Homo-oligomer: A and B are copies of this chain.
């Protein structure tokens, strides 16, 4: 007897979302069709998509197309965008809910993606709130070969209870264990100081819940400096705090490049090394360029949902689709369900 066929993994890719749509999603789909065996469902204006795929040499049928007559503008208010039933986001979310694909990737309007996903895709039983988790690079960590850490929630929620923060920790830990291959990811609670009693009522109560949760490698409170230094694998925080931290981190690449330009202009002897320095700073800031990474998983749904950065080019979308396919293969949603069932005793 032959081995059973590997389970079908199809990722629905929103072809109309993001600053570089539909070109970037199209290029990503063509590259993925050529280089991987991931099933692809491209959702958008088929009158534009089909000829472009053919021009890119994608064999007919290799990429499935789903026509969407509408698209959500990047800056539209999410509640408004929720009325766009014919948008690529709405149809992609429904295709995932219906099992036509197992994962959803979009570089579009974050709030609209959240609302459409919430409407179409069931949450894992017991999940109180879904969380947007940012995957970000840290300094090298001795115990973890993966240079990335997870920060959540980064803005899916503005109101959080201590129980929500516990669930974020459990979901983030399950995700990191499956994706980063760290058996027991370390978890920290982002706070104003390291001592257990620090912070407001929300953070103090959450600290107690996290410390008592079975199976969680909780390292206590962490501070702002620990985020980029990579003190823990999973940093848990309320949505407003995480959102501010993420956007500040995202801006550091630009800040560094601009400071570097100013520095070299100030000093004559720098001009000799101008290209080296610029090149070096560019490389350093590339490491901080979150737009080139695979996107932010939204945890808590029964299907994999990944928000790619609005600025994503084709390579970032390729990475996001690969991560989504890996998450499906490794049953990340099942791992989260199991962790939630066991962890919040």
B228, A255: Cβ atoms closer than 8 Å:
yes
Q: Is A200 interfacial (CB-CB < 8 Å)?
A: yes
Q: Is A252 interfacial (CB-CB < 8 Å)?
A: yes
B224, A251: Cβ atoms closer than 8 Å:
yes
A229: nearest chain-B partner, CB-CB: B251
A263, B280: Cβ atoms closer than 8 Å:
yes
Q: Which residues of B contact A244 (CB under 8 A)?
A: 190-192, 223-224, 227, 237, 241, 244-245
B225, A251: Cβ atoms closer than 8 Å:
yes
Q: Which residues of B contact A248 (CB under 8 A)?
A: 224-225, 227-228, 245, 248-249
Contact of A240 among B139, B200, B226, B246 (CB under 8 A): B200
Within 8 A of B (CB), among A266-295: 270, 272-273, 276-277, 280-281, 283-284, 287-288
A284, B258: Cβ atoms closer than 8 Å:
no
How far is B214's CA from A123's CA once the two chains are assembled, in angstroms? 47
A243: nearest chain-B partner, CB-CB: B192
A192, B155: Cβ atoms closer than 8 Å:
yes
Chain B min CB distance to A90 (Å): 22
Within 8 A of B (CB), among A191-249: 191-193, 198-200, 203, 223-229, 237, 239-241, 243-249
How far is B259's CA from A264's CA once the two chains are assembled, in angstroms? 19
A263, B277: Cβ atoms closer than 8 Å:
no
A270, B280: Cβ atoms closer than 8 Å:
yes
Q: Is A159 interfacial (CB-CB < 8 Å)?
A: yes
Q: Which residues of B contact A139 (CB under 8 A)?
A: 255, 258-259
A266: nearest chain-B partner, CB-CB: B283
Chain B min CB distance to A260 (Å): 6
Q: Which residues of B contact A155 (CB under 8 A)?
A: 192
How far is B220's CA from A139's CA once the two chains are assembled, in angstroms? 34
Chain B min CB distance to A58 (Å): 35
How far is B241's CA from A239's CA once the two chains are assembled, in angstroms? 11
B158, A192: Cβ atoms closer than 8 Å:
yes
B240, A241: Cβ atoms closer than 8 Å:
yes
How far is B193's CA from A247's CA once the two chains are assembled, in angstroms? 10
Q: Which residues of B contact A249 (CB under 8 A)?
A: 224, 248
Q: Is A250 interfacial (CB-CB < 8 Å)?
A: yes
Q: Is A115 interfacial (CB-CB < 8 Å)?
A: no
Q: Kindly list 8 other residue pairs between chains A and B, CB separation below 8 angstroms, not including A245-B248, A273-B276.
A: A190-B244, A224-B245, A224-B250, A244-B244, A256-B256, A259-B288, A273-B277, A277-B277
Q: Which residues of A contact B (CB under 8 A)?
A: 139-140, 155, 158-159, 190-193, 198-200, 203, 223-229, 237, 239-241, 243-252, 254-256, 258-260, 262-264, 270, 272-273, 276-277, 280-281, 283-284, 287-288
- A to B CB contacts below 8 Å, 22 in the list: A139-B258, A140-B262, A158-B192, A158-B200, A191-B244, A192-B240, A192-B243, A223-B244, A224-B244, A224-B250, A226-B251, A227-B251, A228-B251, A228-B255, A237-B244, A241-B241, A245-B248, A263-B287, A270-B276, A273-B273, A273-B280, A276-B277
